[in-house]
Chains A and B, each alone.
Chain A
């Protein structure tokens, strides 16, 4: 992410030139300045494009009714019981969905890679379906089911947002999670590690737990964080099914023209997501250091 002078100044072509023939010193000097200028310019433009609106939103969220600046909007979130319960609800759903999606996805990916590599394209296609089918269509189908559902199903599933929404968020998270986990699994020598573990007496379950999972940890965390982010942002299905999750509450506040509170909530969600992603990239970097050293 950061533009360090040493690395940032060397273009790819120059790296290659150095690797191949050891480019003479003057050439390197001459070419060093321009790529860096370009990089900084593009980086600055992108930063303005992305950070500008965020800063504006943050400033707006600090604006109080009286016209002065302060944290009143943030205070309202904490004191507003509807917001609090909706946030807790959403976090519950996010936690459950992210665990379920891993429990389902990791063994599936491992099994397909080890035993049924021919199924890989099929799996890729199937996991793409939630993106291809618009959420509105899913919600409509779900509503149909809700209307005609037998009583036991209503009381078991639809009475609580956790049991009603989690399965759908698991499905929605599938495309991201599959790709994240698949990349992680591809990066390790799965066949050998699993064979070694089995040979040493580990059952399939313990192999997954002690050998596969720790070595695809970063990928699994990535998948989980993506799922959490998705659960904290999904509005369509939740609102169509009349569950008051956190994002639904956010929209409702917006409609009630409590704009300041709504924007403050968006800021909190964003900050939370950023925190998750930074944690992930930190963990990934730590592990990356390890694996490159291993490769050498």
Chain B
């Protein structure tokens, strides 16, 4: 339904988008995830018509809309914050798009009330934006974007200005509304948990192009590149060696390699392991020591320093308990397959990999 074709956008010498290709299906929610400056907002602004690409085109239903001005695009956008018109009450804000479409007053009012009900804010219709909390303001902004029955919904970090609890609640609501209306949505965020929890597919961006576009589960479990692995969730890089059957030997265990293409037997690699894919067991004769312990509620995050110098991040369920700072431990990998990457000496100060001794 939406197609970016080789979209480029340069700001001076910096390429915000370096030939972006992206296709979004009808009714799909795609989250663009990436560090600041990766071009995700630029992509959204180009789709909304607020910015023009230097090269490439954008299609909606196979119609080239690259040169269509934003007020003729029929897209609803929710901004980061402060986008409600301060001089209008909530209902007038929601009805603004319809007013611009010269719909009569009665139907405007009906539609606005309908949408306020959808976002659960019926009772605030006569209030002004300054009388609402941040979360309420964003709900009104969502209602306003949806009032015009847009073909596409654009969400530009709509939750980043809210506090944690409201954020989690509202992202669930956004997903519920999006699925109920079946509206094609592009969601831009730098928060990985937001992207993973809400999207049909997550696009991880880096320096103006897509690194991976896949389901949240695959992006997390099978990161296509080391960048994706490191950006989405915490990631350990453990030195390993490719074995004869193409498996990787790491921490004395043999694991299947998720990206076996081009890996030569005997070569040194880094195995990419999530903190929750590693288990620690208290063992006075073990090869590692707990150097840091952070209690996070449902999990405990441990930093383990192996005798080889290697640091490993481990997340274990907090009800396991029992492991204290300074304890000697041994480790076991719970995953049976991993992504491997070229050894990166810069990531953590790691001594030469000697997996055989473990």
Residues of A within 8 A of B (CB): 188-189, 192-193, 195-203, 206, 210-211, 214-215, 217, 290-291, 293-296
Contacts of A206 in B (CB 8 A): 100
Contacts of A193 in B (CB 8 A): 82-83, 85
Which of B50, B69, B100 has most A Cβ within 10 Å? B100
Q: Would you call A189 and B82 a contact (CB within 8 A)?
A: yes
Q: Would you call B100 and A199 a contact (CB within 8 A)?
A: no
Contacts of B144 in A (CB 8 A): 196, 200
Bound: A271/B7 CA distance, A = 62
Contacts of A201 in B (CB 8 A): 71-72, 74, 97, 100-101, 148
Known: A192-B83, A215-B86. A198 touches B71 (CB 8 A): yes
Known: A290-B128, A293-B130. A199 touches B75 (CB 8 A): yes
Q: Would you call B86 and A195 a contact (CB within 8 A)?
A: no
Contacts of A215 in B (CB 8 A): 85-87
Bound: A211/B144 CA distance, A = 15
Instruction: For the complex of A and B, list the 6 residue pairs with the smallest distance between their C-beta atoms, beginning with the closest.
Output: A294-B130, A200-B97, A214-B87, A201-B100, A196-B83, A198-B70
- B48 interface contact, C-beta 8 A: yes
The residue that B50 contacts in the complex, of A198, A200, A217, A290, with Cβ under 8 A, is A198
Residues facing A in B55-108 (CB within 8 A) are 69-77, 79-87, 96-97, 99-101
Given known contacts A192-B80, A199-B70, A295-B130, what 10 new A-B pairs fall within 8 Å (CB)?
A193-B82, A195-B50, A196-B79, A196-B83, A197-B85, A197-B96, A198-B50, A202-B96, A210-B96, A294-B129
Residues facing A in B317-356 (CB within 8 A) are none
Residues of B within 8 A of A (CB): 48-50, 69-77, 79-87, 96-97, 99-101, 128-131, 141, 144-145, 148, 154
A-B pair count, CB < 8 Å, reads 86
Q: Is the interface of A mostly helix, strand, loop or mixed?
A: helix
B100 to chain A: closest CB distance in Å?
4
Q: Would you call B70 and A195 a contact (CB within 8 A)?
A: yes
Of all chain A residues, which has the CB nearest B147? A200
Give 21 A-B contacts (CB < 8 Å), ordered by A residue. A188-B86, A193-B82, A193-B83, A195-B70, A195-B83, A196-B77, A196-B85, A196-B144, A197-B85, A198-B50, A198-B70, A199-B50, A199-B73, A200-B96, A200-B148, A201-B71, A201-B97, A201-B100, A210-B85, A215-B85, A295-B130
Bound: A193/B48 CA distance, A = 14
Bound: A74/B342 CA distance, A = 93
Contacts of B76 in A (CB 8 A): 199-200
Q: Would you call A291 and B130 a contact (CB within 8 A)?
A: yes
Of all chain A residues, which has the CB nearest B85? A211
Bound: A202/B96 CA distance, A = 9
Known: A193-B85, A195-B50, A290-B86. A202 touches B100 (CB 8 A): yes
Of all chain B residues, which has the CB nearest A198? B70
Contacts of B77 in A (CB 8 A): 195-196, 199
Contacts of A214 in B (CB 8 A): 85, 87
The residue that A192 contacts in the complex, of B48, B79, B145, with Cβ under 8 A, is B79
Q: Would you call A291 and B86 a contact (CB within 8 A)?
A: yes
B180 to chain A: closest CB distance in Å?
22
Which of B71, B99, B101 has most A Cβ within 10 Å? B71
Known: A290-B130, A293-B130. A200 touches B86 (CB 8 A): no
Bound: A215/B141 CA distance, A = 18
Contacts of B49 in A (CB 8 A): 198-199
Bound: A245/B181 CA distance, A = 65
Bound: A290/B130 CA distance, A = 7
B163 to chain A: closest CB distance in Å?
15
B247 to chain A: closest CB distance in Å?
52
B150 to chain A: closest CB distance in Å?
9
Contacts of A199 in B (CB 8 A): 48-50, 70-71, 73, 75-77, 145, 154
B353 to chain A: closest CB distance in Å?
50
Of all chain B residues, which has the CB nearest A217? B87
Of all chain A residues, which has the CB nearest B69? A198
Bound: A43/B48 CA distance, A = 55
Which of B77, B84, B86, B97 has most A Cβ within 10 Å? B86
A232 to chain B: closest CB distance in Å?
30
Contacts of B71 in A (CB 8 A): 198-203
Bound: A193/B84 CA distance, A = 7
B170 to chain A: closest CB distance in Å?
18
Q: Would you call B128 and A195 a contact (CB within 8 A)?
A: no
Bound: A24/B82 CA distance, A = 39
Contacts of B48 in A (CB 8 A): 195, 199
Contacts of A189 in B (CB 8 A): 82-83
A71 to chain B: closest CB distance in Å?
43
Contacts of B86 in A (CB 8 A): 188, 215, 290-291, 294
B129 to chain A: closest CB distance in Å?
6
Bound: A6/B83 CA distance, A = 36
Contacts of B131 in A (CB 8 A): 293
Bound: A198/B148 CA distance, A = 13
Contacts of A192 in B (CB 8 A): 79-83
A114 to chain B: closest CB distance in Å?
10
Bound: A196/B82 CA distance, A = 10
Bound: A258/B96 CA distance, A = 58
Of all chain A residues, which has the CB nearest B77? A199
Bound: A93/B344 CA distance, A = 75
